[in-house]
Amino acid sequence: MKMNKPAKSSNRLFVSYVLGMLAVVGFGATLPVTKIALEDFSPEFLTMARSLIAALLAIIVFFGTGKNLYHPKNFQIFIAGVLLIFGFPGFMALAMQTVPASHGGVILGFLPLSTAMIARILTEEKPTLAFWALSLLGSIVVASYIILKSDQSGQSGITIGDIYLIIAGLCASCGYVIFGKLSRQTSGWEITCRSLLLNLPLILTGFWLTWQPPFTFPSTEGIIALAYLGSVSMLLAFFAWNVALAWGGIARIGQLQLLQIFATLFVSALLLGETIDATTVITAMVITVIIAISRNY
């Protein structure tokens, strides 16, 4: 029995890496897939439709495992759900109407560091001077990228798409911080399902208000994109990520998130045919290095 333990532990670690990579790719593909879905749906309806798909799947998982709706932190879960179900996807979809998915990938690539910044502001943790210096440097890199790309496209300064992406990132960061705190007592998958179920009345209302007759007959690509966003981006990728963190360790598996920005660039080029220029690649690499270093502080 003792000889089987290292092998079992090794297999579990391997599986956690596989699940972690699948989750990173799943999250990374969200921006380009959103851009595909917008060919058939409005940003508002897309936000509600993908949430409804995720909520219906969450009902099956949640009640199928014998859970009940009561939870002492339901209000906090509801608020986090508003940020992650409506805020992040909604503003991201609006942004994808005006900027390339690869562009959005670079800006949202700063998400892990912005989440850490907000977490340290809202919690009892005292940030080090090195952490704030890296955060400032990362912010300067992202701002410089936005300005440089706007100059290259003939526009002046920050665009409305950039503003939407920044708001989307802030919604996601705040939601992740709340989820992170709640997940210390309740498993991540349960928190995800609860947030969808608690927001179901708003989701259904939004779905009804944003529905338009042209959405009745979407293209095959639009249907697949919507199904992906609802099932993978909003639910399955979170499940895989939570299991990977639990089995492989937060510190070890968490580093895989550094690859998400490159997953977005790859999928954008593959599905949308976007040209990934040197500026985008270099900026992505710089942001990744900054985030990697910041995790030591």
Averaged pLDDT, 58-73: 92
Mean pLDDT, the chain, rounded, equals 86
Q: Is the pLDDT score of 296 beyond 80? A: no
The reported pLDDT for the residue numbered 233 is 94
Residue 180's SS3 state is: helix
Would you say residue 9 lies in a domain?
Answer: no
Q: Is the dihedral of CA 263, 272, 100, 170 positive or negative?
A: negative
Question: By residue range, what is the domain housing residue 75?
Answer: 25-212+222-294
Would you say residue 273 lies in a domain?
Answer: yes
Averaged pLDDT, 141-149: 81
Distances (CA, A) of 244 to 6, 29, 111, 184, 271: 18, 19, 20, 16, 27
Between the ranges 2-6, 79-83, 130-134, 277-281, where is the mean pLDDT highest?
79-83
Q: Is the pLDDT score of 158 beyond 80? A: no
Averaged pLDDT, 67-74: 90
> What stretch of H or E contains 16?
helix 4-28
Distance CA 171, CA 86 (A): 9
Number of domains in the chain: 1
Would you say residue 8 lies in a domain?
Answer: no
The reported pLDDT for the residue numbered 155 is 59
Provide CB contacts within 8 A for 239, sequence distance 6+: 189, 192
Distance CA 102, CA 273 (A): 10
The reported pLDDT for the residue numbered 196 is 95
The single-letter code of the amino acid at 10 is S
Q: Is the pLDDT score of 39 beyond 80? A: yes
Q: Which residue has the higher pLDDT, 263 or 121?
A: 263
Averaged pLDDT, 237-241: 88
Provide CB contacts within 8 A for 186, sequence distance 6+: 71, 73
Distance CA 91, CA 102 (A): 16
Averaged pLDDT, 34-44: 96
The reported pLDDT for the residue numbered 137 is 87
Averaged pLDDT, 177-190: 81
- Identify the band that residue 1 occupies on the pLDDT scale cut at 50, 70 and 90: very low
Q: Is the pLDDT score of 156 beyond 60? A: no
Give how far the C-alpha of residue 46 lies from the chain's centroid of Cα atoms, to the nearest Å.
Answer: 16
Provide CB contacts within 8 A for 221, sequence distance 6+: 36, 39, 40
* Least confident span in 2-11, 123-132, 186-195, 265-274: 2-11
The reported pLDDT for the residue numbered 175 is 87
- Identify the band that residue 200 occupies on the pLDDT scale cut at 50, 70 and 90: very high
Distance CA 191, CA 182 (A): 8
- Identify the band that residue 17 occupies on the pLDDT scale cut at 50, 70 and 90: confident
Distance CA 218, CA 225 (A): 11
Would you say residue 232 lies in a domain?
Answer: yes
Would you say residue 217 lies in a domain?
Answer: no
The reported pLDDT for the residue numbered 89 is 93
* Torsion of the alpha carbons at 166, 168, 170 and 175, rounded to the nearest 10: -170
Q: What is the pLDDT of residues 247-271, one digit of tens each?
A: 877 657 767 877 888 999 999 999 9
- Identify the band that residue 288 occupies on the pLDDT scale cut at 50, 70 and 90: confident
Contact call for residues 78 and 229 (beta carbons, < 8 A): no
- Identify the band that residue 194 occupies on the pLDDT scale cut at 50, 70 and 90: very high
153-173 burial: b if 16+ Cβ within 10 Å, else e: eeeeeebebbebbbbbbbbbb
The reported pLDDT for the residue numbered 14 is 84
* Torsion of the alpha carbons at 144, 119, 167 and 187, rounded to the nearest 10: 130
Look up tokens 């562009």; give the residue: 103
Would you say residue 251 lies in a domain?
Answer: yes
Averaged pLDDT, 76-92: 94
Percent share of the chain, pLDDT over 70: 91
